[in-house]
Amino acid sequence: MASVTVPDRDRAVCVVGAGYVGIVTAAGLASLGRDVRIVEIDAARWAAIAAGRAPIHEPGLDAALAEQLRAGRLRLATDLADGLRGAGIAVVAVGTPPTAEGDADLAHVRTAVAGIAVAAEPGTVVVIKSTVPPGTVAALARSIGPRLPVVMCPEFLREGSALHDLHHPARLVVGGDDPDSLGRVAGLFAELGGELIVTDATSAELIKYGTNAFLALKISFINEIAELCELTGGNVDAVAHGMGLDPRVGRAFLNAGLGFGGSCFPKDVRALEATAGYHGQSFWMLKAAIEVNAQQRRRFVNKIRLALGGSVSGRRIAVLGLAFKPGTDDLRQAPALDIIRHLEDQHAQVVATDPAALERARPLLPATELVADAMACVAGADAVVLVTEWDEFRSLDWARVAESMAGNLVVDGRNCLDGERLAALGLRYRSVGRPPIDPLPLPLAAEA
Ligand code: UDX
């Protein structure tokens, strides 16, 4: 850990927004001994934090939050003025959801920055953690004027391992044009480590979008390779392994499956594509990544349909996993939602389960039977479909699953089950980009 001296004033930090990024950043800064105040306008989130609970499902966060609240290093502010009193740094971590056109909706960022501009003391550094399109921070800085410097400092936290990522960053990016405030923001996070990149605000914004978009491209690319594997008889596991051993390619984010979901990749790829469009650029690779990702979900439903003999109508299909990835209850752009809706449109009878996202899913899937217990989910199913690779599903007692199903089809959307083992239990195994595995035919009765 780098040793840094933080000026007294910068020890007090006001974090605006207690969503995924804000609450994790706030808890992390408090654990470094900062005096953190969190400003949240959403009543439900506010109440959760006031009761000492995290407003989202994130491993370790409940405990971290409770510890920092108890120690008095983190507190809920009553409003912006309260949160900003004596603070040297204001961190904006509000959402930038997609608009109907696909670009980032900056309304919350603008509201937060306008409020800070009124309430903050001169010299307070405004740190933008929200993901905003290139040019946004420069425009905000122009609108506020020199009284409050603005610095772009993107986050790279993954849901499900956000606290770990916060404490083990690969890099710390600060972008702006005032060297003093860039240094102050670097000092805020420097103890956490990671290579420091000091640049202009627009480049910092593009580092964030470029990273997410590139990772999304990798995923869509391997999913296209997976399709080609299915068409030609290859195995995407071997291909990804072989490709990934080339250090110029790298194995990370080459897991074929149901593609990317969540709050970042789908939204950021579309927003970057929209930004390029506004500047007259057709960013074809991003358009392709988005289309391949949508297609991947349709291909998967098709695979289930074909494996069930050409129709899912009236068939009972058990879906394991609703959250967009394990370790979270986040359903934003979750493949499960599209897949279940496609199946239900084709008159399948869907029953689904998830260790964390069940309650959030209820209003989104009114026609779906949602059950808490995975064994109850698979009972009587014609097909079991794995959509989210939770450990709970990998380690199911698959012999019992095989016994309690009505049919014998398992379709693994995340390539995370042992197909040979399932086939030995009498199950037909289908996955993504790998050859199908069927149970061995029963030995012929010995001749008398
Ligand atoms: C991502 C970025 O990783 C993080 O740096 C950024 O701050 C926010 O967006 P997150 O959305 O939490 O984080 O999840 P991540 O683990 O990156 O996965 C994104 C999606 O891609 C998930 O839907 C995941 O299932 C999918 N994925 C990931 C694949 O389909 N294949 C892979 O090889 C990797």
The model's pLDDT over 290-348, given as tens digits with 9 standing for 90+, comes to: 999 999 999 999 999 999 999 999 999 999 999 999 999 999 999 999 999 999 999 99
Does the pLDDT of residue 2 top 80, yes or no? Answer: no
Please give the sequence-ordered ranges of beta strands (E in DSSP) within 113-217, or none if there are none. 125-128, 150-152, 171-175, 195-199
DSSP states along 408-424: -EEEETTS-S-HHHHHH
Does the pLDDT of residue 9 top 90, yes or no? Answer: no
* Residue 377 bears catalytic tag: no
Strand order in the sheet with 349-353: 369-370, 349-353, 316-320, 383-386, 409-412, 428-430
Does the pLDDT of residue 1 top 50, yes or no? Answer: no
Q: In the structure encoding, which two tokens stand for residue 443, read together?
A: 């030995």
Name the residue at shortest CA distance from atom 10 of ligand 1: 158
Query: Which residue do the tokens 């309430």 mark?
Result: 119
Report the C-alpha gap between 437 and 277 in whole angstroms. Answer: 45
Name the residue at shortest CA distance from atom 18 of ligand 1: 260
Q: In the structure encoding, which two tokens stand for residue 407, read together?
A: 């049919």
Does pTM top 0.75 for this prediction?
yes
Q: Which atom of ligand 1 is nearest to the CA of 254?
A: 33
Helix (H, G, I), strand (E, B) or coil at 317: strand
- Write the pLDDT tens digit of every residue in 353-365: 999 999 999 999 9
Pick the catalytic residue from 153, 264, 377, 416: 264
Dihedrals phi, psi of 175, to nearest 5 degrees? -130, 135
pLDDT value of residue 102: 86
- Write the pLDDT tens digit of every residue in 224-274: 999 999 999 999 999 999 999 999 999 999 999 999 999 899 999 999 999
DSSP state of 69: H
Distance 157 CA to ligand 1 centre (A): 10
Confidence of residue 8 (pLDDT cuts 50, 70, 90): confident
Confidence of residue 447 (pLDDT cuts 50, 70, 90): very low
DSSP state of 7: P
Q: Which atom of ligand 1 is nearest to the CA of 268?
A: 9
Name the residue at shortest CA distance from atom 21 of ligand 1: 260
Does the pLDDT of residue 205 top 90, yes or no? Answer: yes
Distance 403 CA to ligand 1 centre (A): 34
- Write the pLDDT tens digit of every residue in 161-182: 999 999 999 999 999 999 999 9
Q: Which of 265, 297, 414 to mutate to test the pocket of ligand 1 (most atoms within 8 A of CB)?
A: 265
Report the C-alpha gap between 253 and 240 in whole angstroms. Answer: 10
Dihedral of the CA atoms 384, 390, 391, 395 (nearest 10)?
A: -10
- Write the pLDDT tens digit of every residue in 30-83: 999 999 999 999 999 999 999 999 998 899 999 999 999 999 999 999 999 999
Name the residue at shortest CA distance from atom 27 of ligand 1: 260
Distance 165 CA to ligand 1 centre (A): 13
Name the residue at shortest CA distance from atom 1 of ligand 1: 158
- Write the pLDDT tens digit of every residue in 387-403: 999 999 999 999 999 99
Q: Which of 164, 237, 260 to mutate to test the pocket of ligand 1 (most atoms within 8 A of CB)?
A: 260
Distance 266 CA to ligand 1 centre (A): 10
Task: Please list every protein residue whose CB sits less than 6 Å from any atom of ligand 1.
Answer: 155-159, 212, 219, 253-255, 257, 259-262, 264-265, 324-325
Least confident interval from 6-10, 33-37, 69-73, 439-443: 439-443
Determine contact, residues 381/318, Cβ cutoff 8 Å: yes
Distance 164 CA to ligand 1 centre (A): 15
Name the residue at shortest CA distance from atom 19 of ligand 1: 260
Does the pLDDT of residue 278 top 50, yes or no? Answer: yes
Q: Which atom of ligand 1 is nearest to the CA of 157?
A: 7
Distance 124 CA to ligand 1 centre (A): 33
Please give the sequence-ordered ranges of beta strands (E in DSSP) within 289-331, or none if there are none. 316-320
Taking the mean position of all CA atoms in its chain, how far away is CA 345? 27
Name the residue at shortest CA distance from atom 34 of ligand 1: 253
Dihedrals phi, psi of 437, to nearest 5 degrees? -125, 125
Name the residue at shortest CA distance from atom 6 of ligand 1: 156
Determine contact, residues 153/141, Cβ cutoff 8 Å: no
* Residues with Cβ within 8 Å of residue 261, at least 6 apart in sequence: 324, 325, 332, 333, 334, 335
Q: Which atom of ligand 1 is nearest to the CA of 219?
A: 31
Report the C-alpha gap between 417 and 112 in whole angstroms. Answer: 45
Distance 324 CA to ligand 1 centre (A): 9
Q: Which of 165, 215, 249, 267 to mutate to test the pocket of ligand 1 (most atoms within 8 A of CB)?
A: 215
Q: Which of 218, 253, 264, 338 to mutate to test the pocket of ligand 1 (most atoms within 8 A of CB)?
A: 264
